[in-house]
Amino acid sequence: MNKKTKNFNTAPLPFMEQKRNFLKDFSKALENYPENAIYVDLFGGSGLLSHTVKQLYPKARVIYNDYDNFSERLKNIAKTNDLLGDIRDILEGYPKDKKIDDPYKSAIIQRLEKEDKTGFVDWITVSSSILFSGKYHLNLEEFQKATLYNTVRMSDYNADGYLEGVERVADDYKKIFQAFKDNECVVFLVDPPYLSTDVKAYKSYWKLADYLDVLTVLDGTRYFYFTSNKSSIIELCEWIENSTVGNPFKDANRSYVTNAVNFNATYTDIMVFK
């Protein structure tokens, strides 16, 4: 008997800039694309776009570029759940969403020190549990200096069936693009780290030149491209439309979603598809 897999509407672990708020528009737009195409997720991130395509189009070949090694975090979910369970025990009875003072903070740091010696800690997931909303720290030293808050999740994480049937690769997006660019059946999913946005949780730092280089994969291809109003990239391309470069967004469709960073700050996500 075939095992039914869960259709995740959000990544099973915290991930910056994941496209959960775009899934409705993304799924609707996918109806205009072949169900048996090759979908290449050049900047796979949490894999949520790849997972969604495979759930909607089981016959499609979906290739997920796991450059940030999200799979390692998925593989270690049991360890992460154990760690967060111990932190919940430490904070039992402690007020929710409040600053964590000693001796509770010291006890949490000691538990993190113990976990750090095992060789793997999912610092991003830990960040979402004991830091203020939108804050991320990536090592023990940063947590030792940080102000902690009781935002710990009360249930375990689960990724059963996530990315099932999806092909994982881990390489420079340019190499992957070169391997598929001449295939008439390919659709590229292009979701690079956002320009002018905190990219601390990503593996590499993105400069303007890196961001502009991505536009070359849109020329003459079928694609979904994600950006935000912080980058002004669409306005830039419209400005240079009459130049020799041309505007890769000309005649493409667009969808917008407004996101809250915290209580006072928002930005608008943009999905362009063609």
Q: What is the 3-state secondary structure (H, E, C) of the chain?
A: CCCCCCCCCCCCCCCCCCCHHHHHHHHHHHCCCCCCCEEEECCCCCCHHHHHHHHHCCCCEEEEECCCCHHHHHHCHHHHHHHHHHHHHHCCCCCCCCECCCCHHHHHHHHHHHHHCCCCCCHHHHHHHHCCCCCCCCCHHHHHHCCCECCCCCCCCCCCCCCCCCEEECCCHHHHHHHHCCCCCEEEEECCCCCCCCCCCCCCCCCHHHHHHHHHHHCCCCEEEEEECCCCHHHHHHHCCCCCCCCCCCCCEEEEEEEECCCCCEEEEEEEEC
Q: Per-domain residue ranges for the chain?
A: 20-69+170-273, 76-145
In tens digits, the chain (274 residues) has pLDDT values of: 344 456 799 999 998 766 778 899 999 999 999 999 999 999 999 999 999 999 999 999 999 999 989 999 999 999 999 999 999 999 999 999 999 999 999 999 999 999 999 999 999 999 999 999 878 899 999 999 999 999 999 999 999 999 999 999 999 999 999 999 999 999 999 998 866 555 555 555 567 778 788 888 998 999 998 887 666 677 777 766 756 556 677 788 878 777 765 555 666 777 888 8
What is the fold of 20-69+170-273?
A: Rossmann fold (3.40.50)
